[in-house]
Amino acid sequence: MKQHAKTWLLLAGLLVGYALGSSVPTTSAATNDQLMSKVVAELSGIRRSLERIERKIPNR
C-alpha cells in the first residue's frame, strides 16, 4: 500500500510540474481554474488506468 502512495505522489508531482511548466505564467483566477481542472482530469484518467491494471493483476 505504501508503494501505491509513493507512486501517486510521484505521478501527481510530475503532472503538476508539467502543467505549470507548459502554461503561460499569469495570475488570472480563470487561468488557474482551467489549470486545476486540467490537472484533476489528468489525475482521474491516471487513476482509472491504474485501477484497470490492478484488476488484471492477480492477488498474491
For 13-41, the pLDDT digits (tens) are 777 777 766 655 555 667 778 888 888 88
**Closest residue by Cα to residue 44 from 22, 21, 17, 11:** 11
- pTM: predicted TM-score of the whole model, two decimal places: 0.44
Residues written for the chain: 60
Count Cβ atoms below 10 Å from residue 57 Cβ, excluding itself. Answer: 7
- How do residues 50-60 score in pLDDT, each as one tens digit? 888 888 887 75
